[in-house]
């Protein structure tokens, strides 16, 4: 019975870890897009898509307002904190996964 519970728990950890990794990938892509916004704006040929990306850049600038005192030349600093939290969560899940595997044998 404990093997079944351990397998279920290990599967939940694996799928959560996969979700965190996918979320980190998308956050890194967003960070790259926001940090190179001028090049991206020049590359997008479709006007409605360019307008949506401009709105995303404006939202990012609004979220960066509290961080401008520390780093006036930074871009998407609010996203950097989320990425670090994701990395910490991934490391914690890896430690938990190793612990469950060691207990299961």
Residue pointed to by tokens 């961080």:
67
Tokens of 48: 């409605």
Residue pLDDT tens, the chain, 105 long: 778 888 898 999 999 999 999 999 999 999 999 888 889 888 888 999 999 999 999 998 888 888 777 776 667 788 888 999 999 999 999 999 999 888 887
101 and 56 in contact (C-beta within 8 Å)?
no
By C-alpha distance, which of 27, 24, 19 is closest to 79? 27
List, in sequence order, the alpha helices (H) in 2-76: 2-35, 37-43, 47-64
Q: Where are the domains of the chain?
A: 2-104
Question: What is the Cα–Cα distance from 96 to 86, expressed in whole angstroms?
Answer: 15
pTM for the whole thing? 0.80
């Amino acid at each position: 019975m404990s093997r079944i519970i351990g397998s279920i728990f290990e599967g939940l950890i694996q799928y959560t870890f996969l979700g965190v990794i996918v979320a980190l990938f998308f956050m890194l892509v967003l960070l790259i897009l926001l940090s190179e916004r001028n090049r991206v704006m020049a590359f997008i040929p479709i006007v409605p898509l360019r307008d949506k990306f401009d709105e995303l850049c404006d939202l990012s600038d609004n979220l960066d307002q509290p961080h401008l005192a520390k780093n006036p030349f930074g871009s998407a600093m609010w996203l950097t904190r989320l990425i670090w939290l994701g990395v910490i969560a991934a490391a914690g899940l890896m430690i938990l996964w190793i612990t469950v595997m060691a207990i299961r044998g």
